[in-house]
Amino acid sequence: MKETLDKARLSKLLEVLKEQHGKTGALIEEINEVLGGGVGIAAKIREFDIAWSMLWQGRYRSAYQFNRTKDMPHVKRLIKTMGVEELVRRATNYLRSVDPFYVGARHNFGVFVASINSHVGEAAPAQDFELAAPTGCKHTPPCRSDAEHTGRKSAEMRAVSA
């Protein structure tokens, strides 16, 4: 009985040790990269953060608010697997998409992560974006921002009540 308990505890401790070993290995790799003239993961995450924010703001004319606790581990994992350049290329393709689902989700980062493999390919320049209409906008031409939509809707309501 005692031998079974010891094996169970040792198995749990072994799993913890393996996890720590993996983290230590990743840290050693990052230190080697920085010593070799490369940049650390924090700088790569910041580079992607800036690129995403600029692309999203170019489309929606407002700042994107990351859920840092939830989103940054995904960014780190994706950078490690595909690199910053490829991740930015896919983000550009995603944010250019006029797919109604993506537009309805206002090109949310979580949707991007879930559909990452759908955005492979060469990215077109960011300045080619067509702005997505605010959710629920049925104006022709579509409104370019929530503020414009609110203004037009208010004007319509005043005209009807006059």
Residue 146, pLDDT above cutoff 70? no
DSSP state of 37: T
Cα 102 to Cα 142: distance, rounded to the nearest angstrom: 17
What's the rounded Cα separation, in Å, for the pair 98 and 45? Answer: 26
Q: How far is CA 115 from CA 25, 71, 104, in A?
A: 29, 14, 15
Instruction: Considering only residues 52 and 4, tell me which one the structure prediction assigns the higher pLDDT.
Output: 52
CA separation for the pair 139, 20 (Å, rounded):
56
In this predicted model, what pLDDT tens digit does every residue of 8-48 receive, in sequence order? Answer: 888 888 888 888 887 777 777 777 777 788 778 888 999 99
The residue behind tokens 């991740």 is 87
